[in-house]
């Protein structure tokens, strides 16, 4: 049954969430504190939907667009909504102010979720009368193409709210995972951060170029990771499964961890070097075009994965 969802913040992530909810057949009220950003959001959203229709991932961009309405006030956006997805600036102060207002205007049983990339919900919901219904629902950019969403409670979030949040995310085509306790960066960014830290070290130490490191991931690890996680990967990489793999290779990884434990700042020289190597591969003027290319590749991959799941399951 169609319901109403509120998206607070009409930037890149906000528009993407609006697509997620509207694509699933729901009404979406899109609000932003910046009227110019709000006015610009619907044409940009329609362009994304046109791409999805061209790839066969939705039936009608026009129909999905019609489910999204831009509204002038947060109170109007929240009226009758079952869920608010906050997508504003990544600062504690901004989120605290918005959640205070949302807690006043939202329906009593509405879930209030943040798209925060690293700031835990306890930092801006503690003083709220309705803090039990607040959590982080951290997506991957863009969520309408990469369906994972991390559900991260504050210490006081009602477990029943997490369960409801999982059901809602399932119902709109997302893949929810539960982060059982607060940790900065949640899980996805911590995993990404570990890989990036080692990538920066390897390039800084002259072990490999930025382009060849990217190839190592996209044409190596990434091929498996597009349909398997790291535990399933090692489970299938030894005849006897995980325990066998750990017995065979645990010592190697222990030695690597000892080397990798050193924390290094992403210093200016290394950043300049990586920036220079990247600009040789992709000019600054071509970044936006490449982002569109990335999204269309993700659409193709998503379409393939959906077909494979329908045929083989899992």
Helical segments of the chain, H only? 12-23, 35-54, 61-66, 74-78, 92-105, 122-125, 159-171, 188-204, 210-216, 222-225, 230-235, 242-260, 268-281, 287-312
Per-residue pLDDT tens over the stretch 260-309? 888 999 999 999 999 999 999 999 999 999 998 999 999 898 888 888 77
Residue 54 confidence (pLDDT): 93
Closest CA to 182 of 140, 129, 230, 126: 126
- pLDDT-derived band at 30 (thresholds 50, 70, 90) equals very high
pLDDT digits over 73-95, tens only?
A: 999 999 999 999 999 999 999 99
Kindly state the tokens that stand for 124: 């801006």
The residues, ordered by sequence, that sit 6+ positions from 289 with a Cβ below 8 Å of its Cβ are none
In this prediction, residues 29-45 reach a mean pLDDT of 96
How far is 253 from 200, CA to CA, in rounded Å? 19
Beta bridge partners of 136: 114, 152
Question: What would the mean pLDDT of 7-36 be, rounded to a whole number?
Answer: 97
H/E segment holding residue 27: strand 27-31
* Cα–Cα distance for residue pair 301/122, rounded to 1 Å: 36
Q: Are 152 and 135 in contact (CB under 8 A)?
A: yes
pLDDT > 80? residue 310: no
Nearest-angstrom CA–CA distance, 117 and 298? 21
The bridge status of strand 134-139 relative to strand 148-153 is antiparallel
Calpha distance 120→137 (Å, rounded): 10
What distance lies between CA 193 and its chain's CA centroid? 14
- The span from the CA of 41 to the CA of 26, in Å, is 18
Place of tokens 């362009």: 47
């Amino acid at each position: 049954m169609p319901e109403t969802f509120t998206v607070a913040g009409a930037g890149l992530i906000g528009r993407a969430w609006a697509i997620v909810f509207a694509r699933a057949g729901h009404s979406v009220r899109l609000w932003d504190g910046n009227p110019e950003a709000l006015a610009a959001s619907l044409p940009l959203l329609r362009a994304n939907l046109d791409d999805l229709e061209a790839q066969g991932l939705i039936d009608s961009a026009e129909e999905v667009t019609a489910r999204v309405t831009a509204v002038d006030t947060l109170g109007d956006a929240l009226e009758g909504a079952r869920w608010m997805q906050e997508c504003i600036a990544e600062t504690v102060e901004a989120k605290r102010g918005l959640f205070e207002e949302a807690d006043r205007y939202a329906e009593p049983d509405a879930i209030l979720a943040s798209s925060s990339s690293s700031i835990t919900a306890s930092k801006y919901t503690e003083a709220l009368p309705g803090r039990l219904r607040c959590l982080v629902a951290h997506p991957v950019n863009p969520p309408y193409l990469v369906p994972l969403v991390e559900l991260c409670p504050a210490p006081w979030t009602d477990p029943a709210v997490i369960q409801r949040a999982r059901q809602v995310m399932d119902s709109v085509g997302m893949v929810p995972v539960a982060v059982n306790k607060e940790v900065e960066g949640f899980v996805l960014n911590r995993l990404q951060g570990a890989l990036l830290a080692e990538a920066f070290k390897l390039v800084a130490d002259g072990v490999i170029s930025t382009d060849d490191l990217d190839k190592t991931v996209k044409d190596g690890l990434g091929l498996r990771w597009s349909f398997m996680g790291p535990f399933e990967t090692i489970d299938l990489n030894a005849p006897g499964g995980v325990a066998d793999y750990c017995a065979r290779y645990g010592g190697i990884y222990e030695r690597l961890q000892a080397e990798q434990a050193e924390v290094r700042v992403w210093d200016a020289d290394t950043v300049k070097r990586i920036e220079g190597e990247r600009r040789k591969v992709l000019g600054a003027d071509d970044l936006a075009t490449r982002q569109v290319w990335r999204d269309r590749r993700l659409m193709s991959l998503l379409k393939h994965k959906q077909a494979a799941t329908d045929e083989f399951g899992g």
